[in-house]
Structure 1
Amino acid sequence: MLKRVHQLTKDLVKIGFERDEELFSKYHIQNGSENECIEHTYHRIQDLKEETHCFYEIIYNDKAIGFCCFDDNLLYSFGINVDYRSGDVLSEWISNLDSLFIGKYAIYMVTFYKKNTRAKDFFIKNGFYAMPYEEIPKEYGEIELLIKKL
């Protein structure tokens, strides 16, 4: 279900975000049109990109349905197409994430913008919990950090 790719493409971000009207109007850090949110996310990821970052295509039934981006044990960006957000697909995705880190780390973390309560609720439901963290510079927006013990 997770396939490592050399770089994240704008097309992959589009697959993960397309038709997610709630994301565009409510949860994205820069609310706007679908194209504006895709562009913003893609360029923010490119700005953060370093040698340690890993990009994955999320695949279901041999079809790309989204993306996720990591820096070591931190999941810092992700998107799964709205047509594939059923319990089975999401459970399999979380299980695949766990498998990436078991044996390498005692924990892994996910970060997202604080206003994305939908993501927070999903990750808490799947075994993550809130963890205090140092103040993050305001230019990055208000960030939420959750942690999961393995």
Structure 2
Amino acid sequence: MVAVILLGTFGFMAFVEMTLFDAFWITVVTVLTVGYGDTVPTSFAGNVFALLIIPMGIGIDTYVIGSMTALIIEGDFSQAVRRKRLENPIEQLSNYMMFVDSVHVGEQVMIQLLEKGIPAVFIDKAEELIVKLTTATIV
């Protein structure tokens, strides 16, 4: 999106001889398909350039909206938020134990570590185990 806005801004400055702000304004209005009608290209070159920028803007808008919708609908958004919420405390830890695919270590060992307040990070594909540990102890 930033690249299209920069391209559009400098393109309108070159083809239509606009000021930096006017070129930026018409680019944003065009790319976001607002179309206020207050500023329009007045030359053939400006119109042709606008015809090139419009599909780029619509394509990027469609991609961004589609990606955001997919994140929300597929539940990836909530997982991303949950991951971020878990990453912050992990980044603050020092001198901790990390278990990956911890089902082999044993639930009891993990629960005892957590109950004793020993910092530990558990990474496991078995979501049931993570949920059990999260609800059984303070994580």
Q: TM-score normalized by structure 2?
A: 0.25
Task: Indicate the structure whose relative CO is greater, using CA pairs within 8 Å and at least 6 residues apart.
Answer: 1
Structure index of larger Rg: 2
Between structures 1 and 2, the one with greater strand share: 1
Normalising by structure 1, we get a TM-score of 0.23
Q: From the two aligned structures, give the one with the greater helix fraction.
A: 2
